[in-house]
A and B are shown apart, each in its own frame.
Chain A
């Protein structure tokens, strides 16, 4: 297995996977605790619509992915804040509308473009040096922001109104969280694909949720699980000639069910009953 590391493409893939695993799993803690799971799924599909439009009009794909992703999360946040309609309804509408846009843009392309489908299904083994630099840069931005504002992010995930009442600029932090979710989706788009990216945000954090009662520990466990699944998934996909995105996500899903079965919280509840 060690000889794999001699290949440049494998070094890039493993590094990209580790970065994506770390960023997705850390932001996932706040997404899971704040109840934004479906919002993230909608963002991933909106970002893919941005990628397809970028290919159609000849712009860098990640630039429009960011624009579409940010527009979706900010609209989602605004709708939730105003209480105009239930969050799942507004996201459902945006989710399907942006997917429809993506299909429309794909239909307008005169030829089949395999690179576009790489963003839909993920192709970590084909990550270029430039893409790795972009993933690395955005990862530093997202993880650095979380590190700087972790206490405020934890508080709004716990109770946004109580955070606002306690003197935390909760509304601004909430929109910052949504922005970080959109950036994370863009970071992970090429590696695991638009369809599966949200699994990488949701599953490691949900697995860690089963294992601990502490916020700090949950974040640490989530990051370890995310990096482990992403790197192991890439190695498995290469070893068994499997698609990388599904390998990563299915490995993470297996760990999730294992954690549910062995969850100290669940076992404690059973013992108390």
Chain B
């Protein structure tokens, strides 16, 4: 096993009076592509925030980049590229594509330092990697949902991260855009050897692309290769009895299967 880059050890996270994630033990080695699935409110976004060092564990420990998550400093966070949920970003913010991607450099640059030509080149390279360099002077708000998502992935890449955290990157996109974004993420994982944690509800879209699936419902129900996690008896514990696996290995809602 390669060097673990994220290590939960009996970690519990939450807010006053609410436990969002309980007793999580999970080790993610460098360069692994992990899909995180689970129903709404299962703690997927909390997992993301914890890895970013935005939440301290109530019990147990979480180490990211060889550092306790509550002690992550700005220079550590600059190594974690983050794509938040779509609804959390003001898409009409007056910013060009290149300006938005340049923001990915700001954490690594540090206070008082102005971006140099090298930073602009890194941002341009990130835009090229996601196929959006020709849109660099366009207004972010003028792009389609799929294109905006590519720009935000480029912003995360411009950090030159070791870890990429993607919180439901395909939500709100049409089917073609969903497919293109997931293809892009898979290609980036292959080319850049990034450690990727991708939170998603779209089990079928990612099942053949990730190294491991993590199934959450406040607790860690399963973690392993997709074929080991996507079993009716495991899924029924988390989603209830409505999910079934079809003959072609698709996870669907039981009602539709019967019709």
Contacts of B96 in A (CB 8 A): 213-215
Choose the segment among A37-45, A48-56, A72-80, A162-170 that binds chain B (4+ C-beta atoms closer than 8 Å).
A162-170
CB within 8 Å for A159 and B159 given contacts A152-B111, A169-B74: no
Chain B: which residue is nearest A209 at the CB level?
B94
Does B225 reach chain A (CB closer than 8 Å)?
no
Contacts of B95 in A (CB 8 A): 158, 213-215
Q: Shortest beta-carbon distance, A167 to chain B, in Å?
A: 3
CB <8 Å contact, B107 and A168: yes
CB <8 Å contact, B88 and A159: yes
Contact with B along A190-209 (1 / 0, CB 8 A): 00000000000000000001
Does A218 reach chain B (CB closer than 8 Å)?
yes
CB <8 Å contact, B74 and A214: no
User: Which of B76, B88, B139 has a CB less than 8 Å from the CB of A167?
Assistant: B76
User: Which of A154, A166, A214, A216 has a CB less than 8 Å from the CB of B77?
Assistant: A166
Tell me the A137-170 residues at the B interface (CB within 8 Å): 148-149, 151-152, 154-155, 157-159, 161-169
Among B75, B93, B114, residue most surrounded by chain A Cβ atoms (within 10 Å): B93
CB within 8 Å for A152 and B106 given contacts A166-B78, A214-B96, A215-B95: yes
Q: How many positions in chain B have a CB within 8 Å of any CB in the partner chain?
A: 38
Does B112 reach chain A (CB closer than 8 Å)?
yes
Chain A: which residue is nearest B161 at the CB level?
A166
CB <8 Å contact, A149 and B94: no
Does B230 reach chain A (CB closer than 8 Å)?
no
Chain B: which residue is nearest A219 at the CB level?
B94
Contacts of B123 in A (CB 8 A): none
User: Which of A148, A149, A151, A165 has a CB less than 8 Å from the CB of B115?
Assistant: A151
Contacts of B79 in A (CB 8 A): 167
Chain B: which residue is nearest A167 at the CB level?
B107
User: Which of A152, A161, A166 has a CB less than 8 Å from the CB of B104?
Assistant: A166
Does B52 reach chain A (CB closer than 8 Å)?
yes
CB <8 Å contact, A165 and B112: no
CB <8 Å contact, B103 and A158: yes
In the bound complex, how far is the Cα of B90 from the Cα of A177, in angstroms? Answer: 19
Tell me the B93-125 residues at the A interface (CB within 8 Å): 93-96, 99-100, 103-104, 106-109, 111-112, 114-115
Q: Shortest beta-carbon distance, A31 to chain B, in Å?
A: 14
Does B11 reach chain A (CB closer than 8 Å)?
no
Does A220 reach chain B (CB closer than 8 Å)?
no
Among A166, A169, A216, A265, residue most surrounded by chain B Cβ atoms (within 10 Å): A166
User: Which of B75, B88, B94 has a CB less than 8 Å from the CB of A215?
Assistant: B94
Contacts of B138 in A (CB 8 A): 213
Question: Which 7 pairs of residues, A with B, have the shortest CB-CB distance?
Answer: A167-B107, A213-B139, A167-B78, A167-B77, A166-B107, A167-B74, A165-B82
Residue pairs across A and B with Cβ atoms less than 8 A apart, 30 shown, are A33-B94, A149-B112, A151-B114, A151-B115, A152-B106, A155-B106, A158-B90, A158-B93, A159-B88, A159-B89, A161-B84, A163-B107, A164-B52, A164-B54, A165-B52, A165-B77, A165-B84, A166-B78, A166-B103, A166-B106, A167-B74, A167-B78, A167-B159, A169-B111, A209-B94, A213-B96, A213-B140, A214-B94, A214-B96, A218-B94
